[in-house]
Every structure is written in structure tokens, then in C-alpha cells.
């Protein structure tokens, strides 16, 4: 992958407000913190940039305070922002989130009709042959986003670049035939697949985990990373398998851990790291992410990850 230079995402960019009060169901009048920069593709790409990859974000924000907050954050972390459309007509997309004691969460998203989906993908903003396009498949459930993402997937696939995909195969996405078809098309085009164990259960209910991974490797994937939340991760490639147990951390906010994991992993692989090193560091980055409140606030950089790994005995981490 040495000739691949830039990691690109196309998708929703938002600010998020997090309720201080659990169980409020977004119904109570209570305090919120925000605006936190958010949106799965943006969280992913911010982490990929922090890990040293060249990146390009394609999406939209409004010409307002929320949009400026996001742009400043991405710029400071080294994310390429030339692909972001700043809209005069639409305001920045927002999300509100509240947690329950069980860890479940309620979301209210405002994406349709905001700057988050009013952007255009300008021609020339990425060079297909030098691109790794990452698709967070939850974005495919947003109808206004889907065609833009699928056009980019086809252009990168046809142009000799690479696709990576986090399937996020939630039932509401899988139950919509158009979204489901798009998700399978992206997965079939992907050389790096980053499903969670629950994604594999939804995608292949009749297959064991090993059989599902085998099926993915026999299709087009070169690398499959199976995310297990607190249980860690397994990285599988043809002839190679690495199991990493999860690190014991106290979970404050799990939102964004999956994207942070994927951003770390794809960034390191794009820079020539071994599967073992990329898996080890991404597993640590995911663990760090859950200890911090806020969707993108859990992202980290190589020195924080090195410090985290140095503070743990490697033995604790062999599954
Ligand atoms: P999402 O709910 O955002 O879709 P995901 O299912 O894609 O998340 P997770 O498996 O929750 O992703 O998290 C990604 C990785 O982060 C895990 O594989 C693991 O390495 C790390 N991780 C996540 N949660 C924890 C935790 N509680 N303790 C330690 N590590 C964790
Ligand atoms: Mg996920």
C-alpha cells in the first residue's frame, strides 16, 4: 500500500450536544454540553490524521459558529478540509444525545436539509488511484448521502484505489433494501473490513464468526478486523491471525470508540505498519476513547497511545 497516500471520507459532519442527566430521554429540561464535533466519518478521519496519514474530508458545514468549531478542530488535528463545503444557505447539522443507566442512548439528529447533506463532491478533490476511501456504512442510511458515497466508492474502485468499510450493520439499516444493497456493494468492494461482532451476527446470522470472516476473506477483503468492544479485537488476513484482549478501562462514553479504532488501524496500515502493530495500537486507541466524554474527544495521538501501552504489561493483553 506504499503508493496510497490519502485517506478520504464522504459523509455527515455534525456538532453533538450531550445531556448531563442520564435517563432524561431528551424530554426533560436539563443541562447539555457541546457543541462537540461529531459525525462518524469525521471522527474516523480526525483520528486517521492524528496518527499521521494524509486525509481529505468531504462533507458540509454551515457558515456559523458550529461549523467554525468543527473546521478549527479538524484543521488543528491535520485533517484536509478542502473537500468541505461551507454553506451560506444551510446551518450546520446537529445531534442531541442522552444516555440511560443501561448504557443505551437516545439520539435526535438534524441532518436532512442542513449543511451536513447539502454539500457537493467537487471534482479533483481526491485522486482515485491514490485514495483509501473509508465508508462508515451508517452514512448509507441517510438517503441524501448515499448517492454521493456510492459515486465515490465506484470512482475509487474503478480508479485503482482501495476501500475500507465499517459495516455498522444495525437492524434499521439492514431492513431498508436500498441501504442494505449499498452496504453489500461497499463491503464487496472493500479490501479492509472492520465489522463488530454484532455486525457479523446481523450480516450472517447462520454463520459462526470464523465462517463469516472466512467468507469475507474469500470475497475481496485482504484484512478483516473483528471488533469486540470491551473484549478487544481480532485481526485476520490470509495466513495471519492476531487476537488482542481488551484493556481494562473504566468506560465513560463509548460513542466514537469504533470510529477511533478504525481511524487508527487504517491510518497505520496505510503507512505500512504490520497487522500486529496496527491492531495493537488501534486496540489501545479504542480503549482510550471510551474513557473520555464526547464523540471525538476520545481521539488520541501516537505518543498518548505509546504511553498507554507502556503503562500496561503486554502479557495482560494476549488473548
Ligand atoms: P460503535 O458502537 O461505535 O459502532 P463498534 O461496535 O464499531 O462501536 P467497539 O467494538 O465498541 O466498536 O469498539 C472498537 C474497539 O475499541 C474494540 O474492538 C476495542 O479494541 C476498543 N474498545 C471498545 N470498548 C472498549 C472497552 N469498554 N474497553 C476496552 N476497549 C474497548
Ligand atoms: Mg461500529
Kindly report, residue by residue over 197-226, the tens digit of the pLDDT. 999 999 999 999 999 999 999 988 999 999
**Atom 4 in ligand 1: which residue has the minimum CA distance?**
258
Spell out which residues line ligand 1, taking CB within 6 angstroms: 168, 196, 227-230, 232-233, 246-247, 249, 251, 254, 257-258, 261, 283, 286-287, 290
Distance in Å, CA 13 to ligand 2 centroid: 17
Q: Which of 306, 313, 315 is nearest to 284 (CA)?
A: 306
Q: Which residues pair with 106 in a beta bridge?
A: 98
131 phi and psi, to 5 degrees? -115, 140
What CA–CA distance (Å, rounded) separates 193 from 190?
Answer: 6
Q: Which of 47, 31, 3, 22 is nearest to 256 (CA)?
A: 47
Ordered domains of the chain (ranges, CATH): 6-316 (3.40.1190.20)
Mutate to test the pocket of ligand 1, among 286, 291, 298 (most ligand atoms within 8 A of CB): 286
User: Could you write out the DSSP letters of every residue in 82-125?
Assistant: TTEEEESSSPPEEEEEEE-TTS-EEEEEE-TTSGGGS----TTS
User: pLDDT of 229-264, one tens digit each?
Assistant: 999 999 999 889 999 999 999 988 888 999 999 999
User: pLDDT of 85-96, one tens digit each?
Assistant: 999 999 999 999
**Atom 23 in ligand 1: which residue has the minimum CA distance?**
229
User: pLDDT of 38-59, one tens digit each?
Assistant: 999 999 999 999 999 999 999 9
Cell of 182: 449499498
Distance in Å, CA 6 to ligand 1 centroid: 25
Distance in Å, CA 195 to ligand 1 centroid: 11
**Atom 14 in ligand 1: which residue has the minimum CA distance?**
258
Distance in Å, CA 32 to ligand 1 centroid: 24
Amino acid at each position: 500500500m506504499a503508493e496510497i497516500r490519502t485517506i478520504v471520507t464522504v459523509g455527515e459532519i455534525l456538532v453533538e450536544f450531550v445531556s448531563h442527566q442520564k435517563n432524561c430521554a431528551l424530554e426533560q429540561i436539563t443541562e447539555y454540553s457541546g457543541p462537540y464535533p461529531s459525525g462518524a466519518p469525521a471522527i474516523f478521519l480526525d483520528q486517521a490524521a492524528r496518527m499521521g496519514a494524509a486525509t481529505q474530508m468531504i462533507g458540509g458545514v454551515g457558515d456559523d459558529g458550529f461549523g467554525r468549531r468543527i473546521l478549527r478542530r479538524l484543521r488543528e488535528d491535520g485533517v484536509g478540509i478542502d473537500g468541505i463545503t461551507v454553506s451560506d444557505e444551510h446551518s450546520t447539522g446537529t445531534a442531541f444525545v442522552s444516555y440511560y443507566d443501561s448504557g443505551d442512548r437516545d439520539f435526535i439528529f438534524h441532518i436532512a436539509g442542513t449543511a451536513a447533506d447539502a454539500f457537493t463532491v467537487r471534482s479533483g478533490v481526491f485522486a482515485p488511484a491514490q485514495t483509501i476511501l473509508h465508508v462508515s456504512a451508517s452514512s448509507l442510511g441517510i438517503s441524501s448521502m448515499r448517492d454521493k458515497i456510492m459515486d465515490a466508492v465506484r470512482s475509487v474502485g474503478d480508479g485503482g484505489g482501495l476501500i475500507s468499510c465499517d459495516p455498522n450493520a444495525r437492524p434499521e439499516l439492514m431492513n431498508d433494501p436500498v441501504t442494505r444493497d449499498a452496504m453489500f456493494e461497499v463491503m464487496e468492494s472493500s479490501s479492509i473490513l472492520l465489522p463488530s461482532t454484532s455486525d457479523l451476527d446481523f450480516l450472517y446470522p447462520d454463520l459462526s464468526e470464523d465462517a463469516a470472516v472466512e467468507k469475507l476473506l474469500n470475497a475481496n477483503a485482504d484484512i478483516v478486523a473483528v471488533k469486540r468492544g470491551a473484549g478487544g479485537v481480532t485481526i485476520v488476513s490470509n495466513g495471519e491471525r492476531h487476537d488482542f484482549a481488551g484493556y481494562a478501562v473504566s468506560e465513560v462514553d463509548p460513542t466514537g470508540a469504533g470510529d477511533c479504532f478504525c481511524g487508527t488501524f487504517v491510518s497505520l496500515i496505510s503507512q505500512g505498519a504490520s497487522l500486529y502493530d496496527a491492531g495493537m495500537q488501534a486496540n489501545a486507541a479504542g480503549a482510550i476513547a471510551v474513557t473520555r466524554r464526547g464523540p471525538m474527544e476520545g481521539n488520541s495521538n501516537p505518543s498518548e497511545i505509546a504511553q498507554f501501552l507502556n503503562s500496561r504489561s503486554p502479557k495482560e493483553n494476549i488473548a
